[in-house]
Amino acid sequence: MKLATRTTKIAASPTLQMAATVKALKAQGIKIFDFAAGEPSQNTPDCVNQAAYNAIQANFTKYTAVTGIDELKEAIIETFQRTHQLNYDKSQILVSCGAKHTLYNFTQAALEAGDEVIVPSPYWVSYPDQIALTEATSVILKTEESSHYAIDPSLLDSLITPKTKAIILNSPCNPTGSMYDRMTLESVAELALRHDLLIVSDEIYEHLVYDGHQHTSIASLGPEIAKRTLVVNGVSKSYSMTGWRIGYAAGPKDLITAMGHIQSQSTSNPTSISQKASVAALQEGQQFIKGMVQELSAQRTLMVNRLNAISGITCPMPRGAFYALPNVSSLIGRRHAQGTITSPSELAHYLLTEAKVACVAGEPFGAPEHIRLSYTPDLSVIDQGMDSLARAIQALQ
């Protein structure tokens, strides 16, 4: 079959592919230490489930307004006011089928052939592919492990051309766990104003921060910058609701309207029941987040300390999100019975087969010397998984 050329520009999401491989192995009865999944392991909070049951019982099971129900938009607006003192009206909010869908709506509404989008690397796997689908170009802004993956404003400045349309920020970042401080955000904001750029700020991990680090939304730096920022967020990570598929955006009205039109002609509204559940999450889920962050913080420390104890691996302590990104470059070239490890993807494959440890290779994140491990499983799984991983690494020659 002759498929559209655009299909050749993207691949299936490598994170979801690895998740599917793990599911298939588990279905065969094979025990896997699953550090691949980009989702919390906690159950969805009871208050959220209850709101969903109530919605079903009330037959709230029909199409809703395409862009989301008023009640959820109001809860989102209230959340932005409470957390960032940001004021939006309903015409500036779009509820979509997950933050990934929010971002997709953005790329389709804002980008076209000839546009350039600056993407700091390492980046979440879906940004470049969604950009590629619009025939715009991703311009990669490299950041370094040695400086906690901070953005260098002068490097950013040097990448801006008349074609630059937008920059994507993701803080806390998947996969690095880094966060941008206020000073960096002010420099990015200043450049965006000077060069008339849109900012997409993916803040889906905003509540998952450790050691007293503070998340700042770039949109909160002032009204001029808020006017050119699309804040992307959702309930997947903070409320352990990855399967419910609710993401949202707040931003300039004309952009939100155009994104809504694309949604109107593609998915229509996000699931009615999930929207009701998300109202409960935003209004009643704050205690749940606190508990989850405490657990994640202990899991993070255990995993990162165990990784750093393995000869050949170094891993900085992440500040937010729930991923460790160890540098495995000194393992490249080592041999095992079946061959030589020549890349992080081969290492990930070796770890899955030899150690039953699932992780995601760094290459599709723009991290060619790394592998990504989620520290979402509980402490005992991390402990045993790290034992198994250490044994497999020690066995390399």
Binding site for ligand GLU (CB under 6 A): 13, 15-16, 38, 100, 125-126, 174
In angstroms, give the least distance from the CB of 329 to ligand PMP. 24
Q: Binding to ligand PMP by residue 121, rule CB under 6 A?
A: no
- What is the DSSP code (8-state) at residue 244? T
In angstroms, give the least distance from the CB of 186 to ligand PMP. 22
Q: Binding to ligand PMP by residue 171, rule CB under 6 A?
A: no
3-state secondary structure of 370: strand
Closer residue to ligand GLU, CB minimum distance, 19 or 192: 19
Q: Binding to ligand PMP by residue 110, rule CB under 6 A?
A: no
Could you give the string, one character per residue 206-235, with x where binding to ligand PMP holds by CB under 6 A and - elsewhere? ----------------------------x-
Closer residue to ligand PMP, CB minimum distance, 43 or 340: 43
Q: What is the largest CA-CA distance in the chain?
A: 63
In angstroms, give the least distance from the CB of 157 to ligand PMP. 24
In angstroms, give the least distance from the CB of 51 to ligand PMP. 18
In angstroms, give the least distance from the CB of 113 to ligand GLU. 25
Q: Binding to ligand PMP by residue 276, rule CB under 6 A?
A: no
Q: Binding to ligand PMP by residue 128, rule CB under 6 A?
A: no
DSSP letters spanning 96-111:
ESSHHHHHHHHHHHH-
Distance (Å, whole) CA 111 – CA 133? 9
Closer residue to ligand PMP, CB minimum distance, 251 or 331: 251
Distance (Å, whole) CA 72 – CA 281? 10
In angstroms, give the least distance from the CB of 79 to ligand PMP. 15
Q: Binding to ligand PMP by residue 170, rule CB under 6 A?
A: yes
Cβ contact 316:147 at 8 Å: no
Distance (Å, whole) CA 244 – CA 277? 9
3-state secondary structure of 380: helix
Distance (Å, whole) CA 151 – CA 202? 15
Q: Binding to ligand PMP by residue 204, rule CB under 6 A?
A: yes
Q: Binding to ligand PMP by residue 124, rule CB under 6 A?
A: yes
Which residue is at the shortest CB distance from ligand PMP? 98
Residue 16 binds what, of ligand GLU, ligand PMP, none (CB under 5 to 8 Å, by partner type)?
Answer: ligand GLU
Q: What is the 3-state secondary structure (H, E, C) of 121-156?
A: ECCCCHHHHHHHHCCCEEEEEECCHHHCCCCCHHHH
Q: For helices 253-264 and 99-110, give the axis angle rounded to 10 degrees.
A: 110
Q: Is 143 exposed, middle or buried (0-12, 13-18, 19+ CB in 10 A)?
A: buried
Distance (Å, whole) CA 375 – CA 301? 9
Closer residue to ligand GLU, CB minimum distance, 51 or 382: 382
Residues that bind ligand PMP (CB under 6 A): 38, 98-100, 124, 170, 174, 202, 204, 234, 236, 242, 247
